[in-house]
Chains A and B, each alone.
Chain A
Amino acid sequence: MTNKPRLGVFSVTGCFGCQLTLAFVEDILLELLDKFEIAAFPMLKQENSYENLDIAIIEGSACRQEEIEELKKIRNNSKIVVALGACANSGSVQSIIEVSDKKQVMETVYNKKYKQYNPVEVGGIDKHIKVDFHIYGCPPDKEDLLLFIKQLLAGNIKPKQVDYNVCVECRAKANPCLLQEGKFCVGALTHGGCNALCPTNGHYCFGCHGYWEDSNVEALTELFKEYGFDKQLKNILAKFDCTSKQIKQIVK
C-alpha cells in the first residue's frame, strides 16, 4: 500500500489555465505526479475517485447550482482544500457581472426566446465551502504554486503564503515605479506572488492577483484621484476580484 497523499485536482467554471499551469511544470511533472496518489484529475484521467482525499486543488468558480453541490462533495471528502487562482478565490472576470447591470449583461448574450435564467451569485469557492489555502493569480505564478506544493509535500501543514503587494516584488526587482512617474498602476492594491510580472514587462499591474487585504486603500484612492485616475481605477479594478468588499466600493 502506498502512503502517498491522495490528491484530487478539480475544476468548476473557469478557463483551465490554472490546471494547465499546474500540469505544465514540464521538467518535474512526472516526478511530482509520482509523489502523490492521483485519485482524481478529470482533465487528465478517465477514472476519478472523490473518496478520502488528503488534498483537493480546485480551479474555477461555481456558476451553476450543480457546481455548488460538486464543491460540497469535494469538501466533504478532503482534508485540505486549496483554492487555485482568481476564479476560485474571487470569481475572476466572471465576477464582473456582480458589479454590472446583471439583467442587461445577460440580455446582451441571451436569445429573447429563453426565459431569464437564474444564475448563482458569482464569487470565490469560499462562498460555498471552507477553504484552507488560497493561491492567487489569473493564472497563478508557477514558481509560487510549486513552492506551495513542495511545502505541503514536505509535511508542512501551514505553508507560508504570499502576504504582500506587487510593489514589494517590483521594488525588489528595481523596476522604475510607474505610479511615481505619474503613470497608472494598481500594484499597491494587489496581492503579490507574480514577481511583478507586468511592470517588469512595460505594462501596468491590472490586479489579476486580487485585492491585497492590507492595502492602505483610502490613501491610495485619494492619490489616484489626485492624479486624475479615478475613472481608470474603476475600470481596471472591475475585473478580477469584483466580489471583494473594497473593490466593490471603489468600483460602484
Chain B
Amino acid sequence: MKTVKLDHITKIEGHAKLHLVIDNNKIKKLKLGAFEGARYFEGLIVGRKQHDVPIITSRICGICSCIHVTASVQAVEAAFGIKASQQTKKLRELMVIGERIRSHASHLYLFALPDYLGFESSIAMAPKHKKEVNQALELIKLGNNIVTTIGAREMHPVATVPGGFTALPKQEELSNLLKRLKQQRKQAISTAKLFASLDYPEFENKTQYLALDDNGYSNISGNIVSQDQKINSDDYLKHITEKIIEYSTAKFSTLNKKPFMVGSLARLNNHFNTVSKDTQKLIEKFDLQFPIHNPFYNNLCQALEMVHHFDEATEILENLKIKPEQPAELKNKSGRGVSAVEAPRGLLFHDYTFENGKIKHANIITPTAQNLNNLEFDLWKYVPALLKLSEPELKFEIEKLIRAYDPCFSCSAHFLQLKLER
C-alpha cells in the first residue's frame, strides 16, 4: 500500500490538499479537499442592509472581487425590483472583463505555464522567459487599470453599489483604455498561440459543461445552459445540489446527481460559435473541435477567451459615452433576488432573500465549489495511468491537472468548516 499526500497544493489561490491511497495498483482512497478556515459569509450577512451586503461578500475572494460585487448588487437589485441603467450594465461588464483579463493572465503565465515549460515557479521561469513574464505583467496591468478606472480599486471595488456607481470614469480615461486595448491586442493573440502550441497530456473525461447563456456567450446576464439542458437562473437550486463532505471545507456540487464542470472550457464548449469573430478564426486555425473533453484544455480556452474579452471590451468602449448618473435609490423591500454570472473560474450564484430591507436568507455558490467534485472525478480516471511514475513525478502530474482547473479555494471554502459527527 502506498500513500501519497499533497498537503499543500501550491500555486493556486487558496489552500487545498489531496490524500491518495494506492493498493495493488488500484486507487483505494482519493480525497481532494479545501482546508481554508471558515468565514461563514452566508451567515454573516443575515440581518444586513442592502448596501452592506456587497461590501462584505466582495471579501469572499480578492482575485474575483469585481464579479462577486457585481453578482451581489445584481441580486440586491433583483430582490428590490430595480433595473440598472444601460450605462451601469456596460460599466459593470467592462469591469468584470478587466478582472477576467488579469485573472486569466496571472493564472496562465504565473501558475500554469511553469508547469508546461518545466520550471518550479514563475519566479524561477522569469530569467529565461523574460518576454513571456513581461507580457503577463503588461496584461495584468491592463486588466487592473480597467478595474480601477471603473471600480476605483483593483481589489474590492468601492464605486460599484446597488443601483449604479458612486463615481463615473472620465471619457478620456475610457479613451485611454481603448487605445491600450488596441495596442495590447497582439499580446492576447500571442497568448492564445502560445497556449495552442503546448503539449497537453492526452486525457479525456466527458462530463456535463455548464455556462451562462444570453443568446450566446455571456458574462453577467441570462440563464444557464449545458449541452442538453436549459435552466432558468432563479431555479438553479432545483438542479444543482450541494453536498457536505467531511474532508473538505468546501461543499461538493452535483448537477442532476452527477459531477459537472464550469469555467473557460465549459463556456467554450457551449459557446464556441458565439465568441468574437477573430476568436472563432483562431479556434479554426488551431483546428479545435468543440466540445472538448480534456480538462487540460481549460488553459487554452482561457487564452482564447482573452482574445474574445479584448474584442468585447473594445466594442463596449467604442460605443460608450458617459453621461452623469446617480445610483438609483433603494427603498426597503421584501423579496428574493438571484444573480447568476460568470466568474473567471466559472458560474457564480448570489441568491438573497430580503425581509423589510434586511437579509433573511442567503445562498452563494462559487465556481470552485462546483468544480471540486468534477476534479475528483477526473483524478479517479487520470491517476491510474500514472502509477508507474516516481512519487515526485506523480505529484507533479496531479498538481498540473488541479492547476489546469485554476481552482480558487479562498472562494470555494468559506462557507463550511466541519467536523464529522461519529
Which residues A26-42 have CB closer than 8 A to chain B? Answer: 26-27, 29-30, 33, 38, 41-42
Task: Let me know if A24 and B140 touch, CB within 8 A.
Answer: yes
A114 near B420: Cβ-Cβ < 8 Å: yes
The answer, yes or no, to whether A229 is at the interface (CB within 8 Å) is no
Q: Tell me whether A235 is interfacial, beta carbon within 8 Å.
A: yes
Within 8 A of A (CB), among B367-422: 399, 408, 410, 414-421
Q: Could you say which residues of chain B place their CB within 8 Å of the CB of A44?
A: 11, 110-111, 121-123
Complex CA gap A48/B122 in Å reads: 14
Known pairs A26-B140, A111-B244; A17 contacts B155 (CB<8 A) = yes
Question: Is B40 an interface residue, CB under 8 A from the partner?
Answer: yes
Find out whether the CB atom of B410 lies under 8 angstroms from the CB atom of A93.
no
Q: B4 CB to closest chain A CB, in angstroms?
A: 16
A30-B133, A44-B11, A93-B59 as given contacts; A117 in contact with B417, CB under 8 Å: yes
Q: What residues of chain A lie closer than 8 Å to B244, measured between beta carbons?
A: 111, 113-114
Q: Is the C-beta of A169 less than 8 angstroms from some C-beta in chain B?
A: no
How far apart sit A113 and B40, CA to CA, in the bound complex (Å)? 17
Partner of A109, one of B43, B48, B154, B166: B43
CA distance in complex: A18, B63 (Å)? 10
If A114-B419, A115-B421, A239-B55 touch, does A42 touch B37 (CB 8 Å cutoff)? no
A201 CB, nearest partner CB in chain B, Å: 4
Give the nearest-CB partner of B161 in chain A: A203
* Residue among A11, A17, A97, A115 with max Cβ neighbours from chain B (10 Å): A17
Interface pair B36/A13, CB less than 8 Å apart: yes
Known: A16-B410, A46-B11, A63-B38. A24 touches B121 (CB 8 A): no
CB pair B152–A197 under 8 Å, yes or no, is yes
Per-residue CB contact flags for chain B residues 278-304 toward chain A (1 = under 8 Å, else 0) read: 000000000000000000000000000
B46 within 8 A of A: yes
| CB–CB A46/B120 < 8 A | yes
Is B138's beta carbon under 8 Å from chain A? yes
Taking a contact as CB atoms under 8 Å apart, the answer to whether A139 and B166 are in contact is no
Q: Write out the residue numbers on chain A whose beta carbons fall within 8 Å of the beta carbon of B414.
A: 13
| Binary contact readout A4-30 vs B (1 if CB under 8 angstroms, 0 otherwise) | 000000011111111111011011011
How far does the alpha carbon of A16 sit from the alpha carbon of B106 in the complex, in Å?
A: 13
Is the beta-carbon distance between A17 and B65 smaller than 8 angstroms? yes
Q: Of all chain A residues, which has the CB nearest B57?
A: A93
| CB–CB B159/A202 < 8 A | yes
Contact B155 A93 (CB under 8 A): no
Q: How large is the interface on B (under 10, 10 to 19, 20 to 34, 35 or more residues)?
A: 35 or more
A203 to B133, CA, bound (A): 36
Interface residues in A102-126 (C-beta closer than 8 Å to B):
104-111, 113-115, 117-119
Q: A-facing mask of B25-62, CB < 8 A → 1, else 0?
A: 00000000001111111111010110010011001111
Give the distance in Å from the alpha carbon of A107 to the alpha carbon of B415 in the complex: 11
Q: For residue B14, which residue of chain A has the nearest CB? A: A16
Instruction: Tell me how many residues of A have a C-beta within 8 Å of chain B.
Output: 67
In the assembly, what is the distance between CA of A63 and CA of B415, in Å?
A: 12
How far is B65's CA from A92's CA once the two chains are assembled, in angstroms? Answer: 15
Once bound together, how far apart are the Cα atoms of A31 and B383, in whole Å? 39
Bound complex: CA A44 to CA B46 (Å): 35
**A96 CB within 8 Å of chain B:** yes
Which residue of B10, B39, B158 has the most chain A CB atoms within 10 A of its CB atom? B39
A97 touching B156, Cβ below 8 Å: no
Closest beta carbon of chain B to A45's beta carbon, Å: 4
A228 to chain B, nearest CB (A): 16
Query: CB distance A201 to B154 under 8 Å?
Result: no
Q: Are B156 and A17 in contact (CB under 8 A)?
A: yes
Additional pairs, 6, CB under 8 Å, beyond known A114-B244, A117-B419, A239-B56 = A13-B36, A15-B61, A16-B61, A44-B111, A197-B152, A202-B159
Q: Which 5 pairs across A and B sit closest by C-beta, in order of nearness?
A: A63-B37, A17-B62, A13-B37, A202-B166, A105-B43
Q: Which residues of B contact A (CB under 8 A)?
A: 8, 10-15, 35-44, 46, 48-49, 52, 55-56, 59-63, 65, 102, 106, 110-111, 120-124, 126, 130, 133-134, 137-138, 140-141, 144, 152-156, 158-159, 161, 165-167, 244, 361, 399, 408, 410, 414-421
Q: List 30 A-B contacts (CB under 8 A).
A: A11-B15, A13-B36, A16-B61, A16-B62, A17-B65, A17-B156, A23-B110, A26-B141, A27-B137, A33-B126, A43-B10, A46-B10, A48-B10, A62-B37, A63-B417, A64-B37, A64-B417, A94-B39, A97-B43, A108-B40, A113-B244, A114-B419, A114-B420, A114-B421, A117-B418, A139-B154, A201-B152, A201-B159, A202-B166, A239-B56
